[in-house]
Structures are given as structure tokens and as C-alpha cells.
Amino acid sequence: MEFKLHYKTYPFKVTWAAKRDFKRETGRGLWSTIQGILPIMANNPEMSVSDKMQKVSEYIDCVDGPILLWTLAKQCNSTLQLDEIVDAVERSGWRPVGGGEYAQPYTYVLYEILHTLDKAYELEAKKPKKDLCPS
């Protein structure tokens, strides 16, 4: 899995370490924070995308948002620094940009991550689990 943020692609994965690090940094749960974006987007069909992004930024601000992105991405790149993600978030601005998949704000990137994770876990749920301790 990967996300794009200010002209760079970041591979990411959800691990126990990512959950622990996000909780340690913000006091918030990673899953509940990501899942909280869905009702904002789904329950407001009449709102413009910019207004939805504003609601997402009220839910997860420009401090916790980059931390969430960083904790996910550093699972694939242990040398990744939070400063790089913060800089990309700042440069990407606050509203979606037409035709620029790399220039979207962190709020939109988080929404895309939500859908990526949802699809991945839906596929994973359909696979039978192998016996961990065969008899």
C-alpha cells in the first residue's frame, strides 16, 4: 500500500508498532482516528469536497494528521523523519487541487488511505487463515 503526498510516494502499512507510536505521540487510537473520517465523508453528501476536507481537518488537525501519516510510512522506511511529512503537508495546502494527485492536502490523503485500508482488509477477510499451530 502507498500514499502520495506532495510529489512523493510513501509505502505504508499498519502494524502494532504504528498503532503504539501514534498512541504515544497523540494519545489517540490509530484505527478509531482513521475510521472517524468515514462518517464525515459519507454523512455529508451535499457538502463540497473542500467543505468535507475542512470537517476532516477539524477532526484530525495539521499536527496529528502528519503524525498519523508518518507512523504509517515509517513502518516501511525506518529512516523517514516526521519533518519530511510535516513539510509535505504544509506545502500541499488546505484544499484539493484538480488534476494533481500528488498535490492533495493531508485530509484528502487520509481519506484515500481509509479506502485503501478498507479494500485491503476486505480482501484479507475473505482469505482462510492458515493454522498457526498445526497438530
Which amino acid, one-letter code, is at 47?
M
CA distances from 128 to 123, 124, 125, 132 (A): 11, 8, 8, 12
Q: Are the CB atoms for 6 and 102 separated by under 8 Å? A: yes
User: Which pLDDT value is given to residue 131?
Assistant: 62
| Residue at 58 is within a domain | yes
| Residue at 131 is within a domain | no
pLDDT single digits (tens) 28-45: 999 999 999 989 988 888
Q: What's the structural domain count of the chain?
A: 1
- Entry pTM: 0.88
Farthest CA pair distance, the chain: 56
| Residue at 133 is within a domain | no
- Boundaries of domain holding 83: 2-125
pLDDT single digits (tens) 67-123: 999 999 999 999 999 999 999 999 988 777 776 777 789 999 999 999 899 888 888
